[in-house]
Amino acid sequence: MQTEVLKIKNLQKNFKSGDQVHQVLRNLSFSVAEGEYVSISGPSGCGKSTLLNILGLLDTPDGGEYYIDGLLVSEMNADQRAAMRSRRIGFVFQAFNLIDEYTVLDNVALPLKYRGDNHKARHQRALECLDKVGLADKAMLFPNQLSGGQQQRVSIARALAGDSGIMLVDEPTGNLDSKNGDAVMELLAELNRQGTTICLVTHDPRYAQMAHRQIRLLDGAVVSETTDLERVV
């Protein structure tokens, strides 16, 4: 039996717009096991990015419970959430979100800085991660000296650097052409084969199907959940 690393129960999130309250997530419940590759897809505005932000502790739910490794994290304070992010979550953004002032190496080492690792250890680990994504030779360059695909791979290396085991990926191919997008997706698949738990948000059905389990959202609720096995069947 695989260990549950992420679990949400009756998760709710609302957004206020003037006097109106719009329910973005409605009583969502599901879990992600260690080593699983889960995709979350759905049309624009279905709440998938909101869900990923909550899973990544970048946002807090208005109701329900969220567990990481069995710990109830939905009621943690800001510093506890930061510590959890640093230890357990690696995030990959659609817009890469690399810091232009830092070298590629420093960007990848950033999560380790806030964990308190020393300079040498950080850079060593960062180089290892860059090597995994095939960009060790670009360590001393700056982000704007890289192509979009390379920047996204650096972003993936950064998510790996903390050795968190869980990677949350938000529309990684949104700003890339199809060739680079395929390359990034292939990298993610390889990382999952190496044991990384991946939770991917995408609107592209091709990429959604690369995951072992696909969760479809509509208007903030799960409308379907399929696994590889079921698809074959």
Partner 1 sequence: MNTALLPTWFSVLRRQLQRAYQYYLTVILSLVLTLTMVFTVFSILDVAYLQPLPYEDSEQLYFVEGQMEYQGSMFTGTNSQNLLTLQQGNSIFSQFAIYFNWTSYKLYEQPTRPEVPVYMVSHNLFEVLKTKPVLGRFFNEQEALGNKQPSAILSYRVWQRHFAADPAVIGKSIQLNQRRFTIIGVTPDNWVLPQQTNATEAIWLPLDMDEQLNPKTFGGYSSAVKAVGRLQEGMSSEAASEQLSKQMAEAAAINTPEQAKTYPVSALLTPFELAVRADSGKIVLMLVVGVVLLMLIALINLGNLQLARAVSRIQPLAISFAFGATRRQIFLDVFRHNFQVAAVAAMLALLLTLLSFSLLQQIGSDFLPRLDALALSGFMLAFALLVILSIAMIFSWIELKAIDETQLQLSLQSSGKGTGKQLKKDVSHSLIGLQLLFSVLTLAASSQVLMANLTEALRPNQITTENLWTVVVNYSAIAEKDSRVNLQRAVSEHLARVPGVNLVSRSSEPRIPMALNWETINNEQGESLSNSRVISVDENQLALYGLAISGKSFSRDDLALKTKPVLINQRLADKLDGNPIGQKLLLNNQVRYEIIGIVGNTDFPGKRGFESAELYYPGHYSGELTDAFVLQTENEFAGLTHAELYQQLIAIDPRLDLVKVSTVSSDFDELNRNQRFAAWLAGAISLVSLLMVCAGISGMVSYMVRMRRYDLGVKLALGATQKQLLRSQLLELAKPVAVAAMFGFSLVFFVIGYSRTLPEWHFAIYWSELLLSIFFILLMTSISCVVPVWQVLRTDPIKALRNE
Binding site for partner 1 (CB under 8 A): 49, 53, 56, 58-59, 78-79, 82-83, 85-87, 91, 93-95, 97-103, 106, 110-111, 113-115, 140, 142, 158, 162, 171, 174-175
Are the C-beta atoms of residues 68 and 199 closer than 8 Å to each other? no
Task: Specify the residue, 78 or 233, whose C-beta has the smaller distance to partner 1.
Answer: 78
Report in angstroms how near the CB of residue 41 gets to partner 1 at its nearest. Answer: 16
Q: How far apart are CA 70 and CA 49, in angstroms?
A: 23
- Beta pairing class for 71-72 and 63-68: antiparallel
Report in angstroms how near the CB of residue 11 gets to partner 1 at its nearest. Answer: 17
Report in angstroms how near the CB of residue 70 gets to partner 1 at its nearest. Answer: 20
Report in angstroms how near the CB of residue 82 gets to partner 1 at its nearest. Answer: 4
Task: Specify the residue, 115 or 212, whose C-beta has the smaller distance to partner 1.
Answer: 115
Q: How many beta carbons lie within 10 A of that of residue 210, not counting itself?
A: 20
Q: How far apart are CA 178 and CA 85, in angstroms?
A: 30
Residue 96: phi and psi, rounded to 5, are 65, -50
Task: Specify the residue, 59 or 182, whose C-beta has the smaller distance to partner 1.
Answer: 59
148-161 helix and 178-193 helix, angle to the nearest 10 degrees: 20
Task: Specify the residue, 21 or 223, whose C-beta has the smaller distance to partner 1.
Answer: 21
DSSP notation for 61-91: -SEEEEEETTEE-TT--HHHHHHHHHHHEEE
Task: Specify the residue, 47 or 111, whose C-beta has the smaller distance to partner 1.
Answer: 111
Report in angstroms how near the CB of residue 171 gets to partner 1 at its nearest. Answer: 7
